[in-house]
Amino acid sequence: MRPSISPASESGDWERNLALREFSLGHEALKRFVAREPLRRVHECVFAILALESEPIDPRL
């Protein structure tokens, strides 16, 4: 039998997952910067972090 998960727990899991994705993208950006990759490659990670932090857009707009 699977234990029930409260909505607060699900929200915490989602936030933790989002934080881990942001952290890993930031880490990747730093690795690319230190490796002297082109800045456009560094900015790929930075813009991905910004996109994760932005509010969802209503598709009906």
Euclidean distance between CA atoms 42 and 21, whole angstroms: 16
Instruction: Give the model confidence (pLDDT) of 19-36 as tens digits.
Output: 999 999 999 999 999 999
- Percent of the chain's residues with pLDDT above 70: 82
pLDDT of residue 59: 75
Helix axes 39-53, 7-34, angle to 10 degrees: 170
State whether residue 52 is helix, strand or coil: helix
Euclidean distance between CA atoms 17 and 20, whole angstroms: 5
Q: In the predicted model, is pLDDT for residue 48 greater than 70?
A: yes
Q: Which residue has the higher pLDDT, 14 or 24?
A: 24
| pTM of the entire predicted model | 0.71
Q: In the predicted model, is pLDDT for residue 6 greater than 60?
A: no
- The token pair at 13 is 């899991």
Handedness of CA 6, 11, 14, 20 (dihedral sign): negative
